[in-house]
Chains A and B, each alone.
Chain A
Amino acid sequence: MKDFTLRRTSLYIPGNNPGMLVNAAVFGADSVIFDLEDAIPLAEKDSARILVRNALRSLRYPGVEVTVRVNSLSTPFGRADFEEIVPLGPSAFRLPKCERAADLREADELITELEGRSKIPAGSVKIIPIIETALGGSNLLEIARSSDRIVALNYGAEDYTADLGAVRTREGRELDDIRARTVMAARIAGVQALDSVFTDVNDSEGLFAEVVRIRELGFDGKSVIHPRQVAVVHRAFTPSDREISFAQRVLKAMEEAAVKNSGVLSLDGRMVDAPVVAKARKILALAEAGRGVKKEGTRHEE
């Protein structure tokens, strides 16, 4: 994996809502998405861009990854979005409607140019592509490998199923294929896999069940559209006591093996290799985050 940033939740914040922009850090999400794209009416594209730019310039967001969903470069707004936002050094851009590697390369080059101009370290601004069409879905792997800036893959369920002509269900059967492909492409490219939004903000049970399922499929996180969804997703991503104790034993066995300088490691008669250790580390990180320890720590530093 290229990075280990925790992204269980990515909370959409409409870029035209000053109150939400000011308070974006307080809802407990791991990552926030200041949205300049679909949440913003055409008439407000400029003002949202200015608001988000000013928020990034003057506010601090302790303990939260700040990302911006820009408009696609194929629209009249995309280029201006990048030009205004890159100089402020967001953690990452969420790039909508990605269909080909070329889309990503175009964005990558523009970001590189703007990073140079605004004297921020080259490659520091990351990209999370969003796949929203059948074509994008069929090119997932090529997209995932198109730029070193890519840290995660995301798909947009509403646009994607509309493009397919599929029917949306509470259970999300129509998403089985894109989910499997997203996780697979992400793993091949060594990046995170992030699931799309669950739109019924009043259905906490449905959301919880869905997150349990996507975690089983291998997803690392999920986009959320309402702060109330954050706690539910985090709960679903918190490992069970059994998972935690196994992970702790794996790491302990590994330490003991290191002391004894023995190369091959086994636990309960099964071989423990690098992927198992990596998974154990991830589970313990999730467990720690689930207890809220991370939040308290970061807030105290603040």
Chain B
Amino acid sequence: MKNKPQGRVLPEKIEGYGVVRPYGLSSVHTPEIKGKDPSGSSRKVLSSLEEAFRRSEIRDGMTVSFHHHLRDGDLVVNMALDVLAGMGIKDLILAPSALFPVHEDILRHVRSGTVRSIQGSVNGPVGRAASGGLFDVPIILRSHGGRVRAMETGELAVDVAVLAAPTVDEMGNVSGVYGPSACGSLGYAFADARYAKHVIAVTDNLVPYPAIPFSLPQTEVDWVVPVDRIGVPEKIVSGTLRITRDPLRLVIAEQVARVIEESGLFEDGFSMQAGAGGISLAASAFVRERMKARGITGSFISGGITGQSVEMLEEGLFTSLLDVQSFDLEAAASLARNPRHAEMGASFYASTASKGCVVDMLDVAVLGATQVDTSFNVNVNTESDGVLLHGIGGHMDTAAGSRLSVIVTPLLRGRMPMVVDHVHTITTPGETVDVVVTERGVAVNPRRKDLLENLRGKGIPLLDITDLKRMAEEMTGIPAPIPFGERIIGVVEYRDGSVIDVIRQRL
């Protein structure tokens, strides 16, 4: 019988082929499609998140991941944690790609023991609580590139990914472009879908099969759970992001544009990433004017995409957009209609474990800072009071990859100096930072003599970084040292998985 499936006589072994595994008799015999039952309806669609967790074999101590594309409008993280708490699950490790103020609920679940630690990113209230010593084990902070790299190497093994799905079909093809909670790109969820052992798509827009176009394929999604609402639209994507009117930020933005223009990189094929922060958005606007004036056609804008990026694409100033997250409605709409506007996953964007990522092709990255020091190290994690408040985002990834990394910061925020002797936390190492732009002067990393030569004599107020520091301290005085404890509450991983700094408890 063993070698007679369907009545055919098969040899046990074939020369030049190997051992024969006869059809229908093997233990891995699975002729039916996994997601479909005999009646023809999907087996993936479940009636509750609790059932999906049960089928995902959730247990105490497991790692659960989330993406942050619904930003401050996200309802899924809190919903999932409430369900897990109700199931009595303890000691979870959360692995979000980023958190927002809306996720303050996590603190309740930490106190009750449902959540033990966080790996990836924190923001606002959760970071502040971590600095106060809420978590028993340190939070691991990773960049967007670092997080996906850790998944690719197995350092971050996700048991269950709970993915907000603005649109999904019964087989689990997920799109972020349509639906009441549309968010545009789902770039940060690609790795979760691919590497998590179990993947749950939570949706408020279940559509007939197949959902085309899709970002996450059915081949990676185990369960689909329809719920009433996954997001609050007005908090997911903003309307048109306006260029700042803050005159100080405009002064900085103007200097950024001049630095870029004179950097030696401002020619056809130029590529940049600037993001949606006030200064960055304004700097992009000035770069846009200069590209028009000089007749330059760039190659791509990468990273977080805005309506302004879309306009620059449509004006022919750039030939493509590489979108890992869409910041506003215009960006989301463009992703849906324009083939030159491509969605990219975080690995493609920034992973050192990939076979080549976008940041390595970048000419210019414009990046923010909460502090910069005289060795050009940048802090984006802790505030001047030493409290952990921000994730890393793509900061260290783009700084390392780009040919020109531009750090923008006002010299003063309130009465605190932003250029200091030593940053509280090193997020991005000074050796990957090329220039610091403030409203009172521009400091070029001495390592970049070529850049300094290009910028000299162009009316750009060039200063030594130590002069910027001195200028700030003349106005603010030197702040008293922050009282830190011994206990480590956060570990800052560099994008390659090495540890670049630790964050200690704030006393």
A residues with CB within 8 A of B? 19, 22-23, 25-28, 59-60, 226-228, 231, 291-293, 295-296, 299-300, 302
Contact: A296 with B459, CB < 8 Å? yes
Q: Which residues of A are found within 8 Å of B471, using beta-carbon distances?
A: 302
Contact: A293 with B248, CB < 8 Å? no
Q: Which residues of B are found within 8 Å of A227, using beta-carbon distances?
A: 247, 250-251
Tell me if B136 counts as interface (CB < 8 A to partner A): no
Interface size in chain B (residues, C-beta < 8 A): 18
Contact: A299 with B247, CB < 8 Å? no
Tell me if B461 counts as interface (CB < 8 A to partner A): yes
Considering the complex of A and B, which 10 residue pairs feature the smallest CB-CB distances, nearest first? Answer: A292-B459, A227-B247, A299-B461, A26-B439, A23-B248, A26-B251, A296-B461, A26-B440, A296-B459, A27-B247
CB distance from B285 to the nearest CB of A (A): 12
CB distance from B279 to the nearest CB of A (A): 14
Interface centre among A23, A60, A228, A293 (most CB of B within 10 A): A23
Contact: A293 with B250, CB < 8 Å? no
Main secondary structure of the interface of A (DSSP, over half): helix
Cα–Cα distance between A228 and B475 once the two chains are bound (Å): 24
Contact: A293 with B251, CB < 8 Å? no
Provide a sorted-by-A list of 25 A–B residue pairs whose CB atoms are within 8 angstroms: A19-B248, A22-B412, A22-B475, A23-B248, A23-B439, A25-B440, A26-B248, A26-B251, A26-B440, A27-B247, A60-B474, A226-B247, A227-B247, A228-B247, A292-B459, A293-B459, A295-B459, A296-B459, A296-B460, A296-B462, A299-B463, A300-B461, A300-B462, A300-B463, A302-B471
Cα–Cα distance between A75 and B69 once the two chains are bound (Å): 59
Q: Which residues of B are found within 8 Å of A28, using beta-carbon distances?
A: 251
Within 8 A of A (CB), among B235-267: 245, 247-248, 250-251, 254
Contact: A228 with B459, CB < 8 Å? no
Tell me if B441 counts as interface (CB < 8 A to partner A): yes
Q: Which residues of A are found within 8 Å of B412, using beta-carbon distances?
A: 22
Q: Which residues of A are found within 8 Å of B440, using beta-carbon distances?
A: 25-26, 299
CB distance from A291 to the nearest CB of B (A): 6
Cα–Cα distance between A295 and B251 once the two chains are bound (Å): 14
Q: Which residues of B are found within 8 Å of A60, using beta-carbon distances?
A: 474
Contact: A291 with B461, CB < 8 Å? no
Cα–Cα distance between A19 and B254 once the two chains are bound (Å): 20
Q: Which residues of A are found within 8 Å of B250, using beta-carbon distances?
A: 227-228
Contact: B475 with A59, CB < 8 Å? yes
Contact among A27, A296, A302 with B251 in the assembled complex (CB-CB below 8 Å)? A27
Cα–Cα distance between A299 and B471 once the two chains are bound (Å): 11
Cα–Cα distance between A27 and B254 once the two chains are bound (Å): 11
Q: Which residues of A are found within 8 Å of B459, using beta-carbon distances?
A: 291-293, 295-296
CB distance from A14 to the nearest CB of B (A): 12
Apart from A25-B440, A26-B248, 7 more pairs, CB < 8 Å = A26-B251, A27-B247, A59-B475, A227-B250, A296-B461, A300-B463, A302-B471
CB distance from B415 to the nearest CB of A (A): 9
A22-B475, A26-B251, A227-B250 as given contacts; A295 in contact with B439, CB under 8 Å: no
Q: Which residues of A are found within 8 Å of B460, using beta-carbon distances?
A: 296
Cα–Cα distance between A299 and B474 once the two chains are bound (Å): 15
Contact among A226, A231, A299 with B441 in the assembled complex (CB-CB below 8 Å)? A299
CB distance from A251 to the nearest CB of B (A): 23
Cα–Cα distance between A97 and B462 once the two chains are bound (Å): 42
CB distance from A286 to the nearest CB of B (A): 15
Closest chain B residue to A231 by CB distance?
Answer: B254
CB distance from B277 to the nearest CB of A (A): 19
Within 8 A of A (CB), among B259-314: none
Cα–Cα distance between A300 and B248 once the two chains are bound (Å): 20
Q: Which residues of A are found within 8 Å of B251, using beta-carbon distances?
A: 26-28, 227
Q: Which residues of A are found within 8 Å of B462, using beta-carbon distances?
A: 296, 300
Closest chain A residue to B456 by CB distance?
Answer: A296
CB distance from A26 to the nearest CB of B (A): 4
Q: Which residues of B are found within 8 Å of A228, using beta-carbon distances?
A: 245, 247, 250
CB distance from B196 to the nearest CB of A (A): 47
Q: Which residues of A are found within 8 Å of B248, using beta-carbon distances?
A: 19, 23, 26
| Chain B 54-79 interface mask (CB, 8 Å, partner A; 1/0) | 00000000000000000000000000
Cα–Cα distance between A215 and B459 once the two chains are bound (Å): 24
Cα–Cα distance between A106 and B474 once the two chains are bound (Å): 38
Q: Which residues of B are found within 8 Å of A27, using beta-carbon distances?
A: 247, 251
CB distance from B301 to the nearest CB of A (A): 25
Cα–Cα distance between A190 and B245 once the two chains are bound (Å): 39
Q: Which residues of B are found within 8 Å of A302, using beta-carbon distances?
A: 471
Q: Which residues of B are found within 8 Å of A292, using beta-carbon distances?
A: 459
Cα–Cα distance between A231 and B247 once the two chains are bound (Å): 12
Q: Which residues of A are found within 8 Å of B461, using beta-carbon distances?
A: 295-296, 299-300
CB distance from B412 to the nearest CB of A (A): 7
Cα–Cα distance between A292 and B457 once the two chains are bound (Å): 10
CB distance from A127 to the nearest CB of B (A): 28
Within 8 A of A (CB), among B439-496: 439-441, 459-463, 471, 474-475
Q: Which residues of B are found within 8 Å of A296, using beta-carbon distances?
A: 459-462
Closest chain A residue to B250 by CB distance?
Answer: A228
Cα–Cα distance between A302 and B441 once the two chains are bound (Å): 11
Q: Which residues of A are found within 8 Å of B463, using beta-carbon distances?
A: 299-300
Cα–Cα distance between A52 and B412 once the two chains are bound (Å): 19
Cα–Cα distance between A228 and B459 once the two chains are bound (Å): 18
CB distance from B292 to the nearest CB of A (A): 16
Interface centre among A25, A26, A27 (most CB of B within 10 A): A26
Cα–Cα distance between A25 and B247 once the two chains are bound (Å): 12
Cα–Cα distance between A231 and B459 once the two chains are bound (Å): 13
CB distance from A138 to the nearest CB of B (A): 37
